[in-house]
């Protein structure tokens, strides 16, 4: 994996499934992160080839639910992100999927209660020894590139020190979300603090935070010196943000997402969640479209409503 000058789709829970990753790639994303998958869940999965779809499915043995779906088309750009608090369990999960993805990433930035309560996500930021254990264990045992994604710590100095410790584990790149755990999405990203991290490291640094237009990619790179730029909300609202020709109308992007979800038999709950997020940004769920999405029970219902097949 080359992490220089890349436009990257950030990991987003319930959004970063195969259809959305392929959608982003079609519009110009160079690297696409899947949604965070918890190691406890993934170690119970079995790998299956889905002949009807042409996909590789990792299925929960107990429920038969697809936990992670990928395909050969995205093999060289998809990153599998793991939520973990244990090196051995993280390795077990990574070994299941490492031959089907381009890289393995460890989530060290999620501030949600379910992650932190399990010692995962941002909870790892205060445990540098555990971070070292997880990353070095993966690096020693995998040929696949290993990265991680963090948030800013209490002080710029603390962030830089942690980033240096992470670099020493041999990871291929480090993604930094320009907000602290207590910050909310409406708070501006602190690009100046990411600049300090970039200056301190020799590995590629991926900057994440406040990318809403294609022009922001270059603007943030120049402001921080980062190697590459990652976008979350801006891509969720309109995945064509990756296109140098400019954004397409969101109605067109939305229909293409529904089409891909139908083709790849995406989870209906995930598809509806993503559509609701798109609609809420531009419109209202109380209008006819929002109500139609909410009451849809199947992908076929959504495909019929949006007129796609």
Residue 149 annotated as part of some ligand binding site: yes
Question: 291-298 long-range CB contacts below 8 Å, 24 or more apart?
Answer: 296/268, 296/272, 297/268, 298/268
- Residues with a catalytic annotation lie at 110
1 is in an annotated binding site: no
255 is in an annotated binding site: no
- 160 is known to lie in a ligand binding site: no
Instruction: Tell me if 81 is assigned to a ligand binding site.
Output: yes
Annotation-wise, does 232 bind a ligand?
yes
**Which residues carry a binding-site annotation?**
11-13, 81, 149, 177, 232-233
**Which residues carry a binding-site annotation for FMN?**
11-13, 81, 149, 177, 232-233
């Amino acid at each position: 994996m080359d992490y220089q000058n890349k436009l990257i789709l950030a990991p987003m829970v319930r959004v970063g499934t195969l259809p959305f990753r392929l959608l982003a790639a079609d519009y110009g994303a160079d690297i696409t992160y899947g949604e965070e998958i918890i190691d406890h869940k993934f170690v119970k999965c079995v790998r299956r080839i889905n002949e009807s779809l042409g996909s590789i499915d990792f299925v929960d043995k107990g429920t038969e639910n697809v936990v992670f779906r990928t395909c050969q088309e995205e093999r060289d750009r998809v990153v599998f992100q793991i939520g973990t608090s244990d090196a051995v369990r993280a390795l077990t999960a990574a070994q299941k999927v490492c031959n089907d993805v381009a890289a393995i990433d460890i989530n060290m930035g999620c501030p949600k209660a379910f992650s932190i309560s399990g010692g995962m996500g941002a909870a790892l930021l205060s445990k540098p020894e555990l971070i070292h254990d997880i990353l070095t264990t993966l690096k020693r045992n995998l040929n696949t590139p290993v990265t991680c994604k963090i948030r800013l710590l209490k002080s710029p100095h603390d962030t830089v020190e942690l980033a240096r410790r992470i670099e020493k584990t041999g990871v291929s790149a480090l993604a930094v979300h320009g907000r602290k755990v207590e910050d909310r999405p409406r708070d501006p990203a602190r690009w100046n603090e990411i600049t300090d991290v970039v200056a301190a490291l020799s590995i590629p640094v991926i900057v994440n935070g406040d990318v809403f237009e294609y022009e922001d990619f270059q603007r943030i790179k120049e402001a921080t010196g980062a190697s590459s730029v990652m976008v979350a909300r801006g891509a969720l609202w309109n995945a064509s943000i990756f296109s140098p020709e400019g954004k397409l109308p969101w109605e067109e992007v939305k229909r293409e997402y529904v089409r891909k979800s139908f083709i790849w038999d995406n989870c209906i709950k995930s598809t509806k969640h993503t559509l609701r997020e798109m609609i809420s940004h531009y419109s209202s769920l109380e209008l006819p479209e929002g109500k139609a999405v909410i009451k849809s029970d199947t992908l076929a219902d959504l495909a019929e409503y949006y007129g796609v097949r």
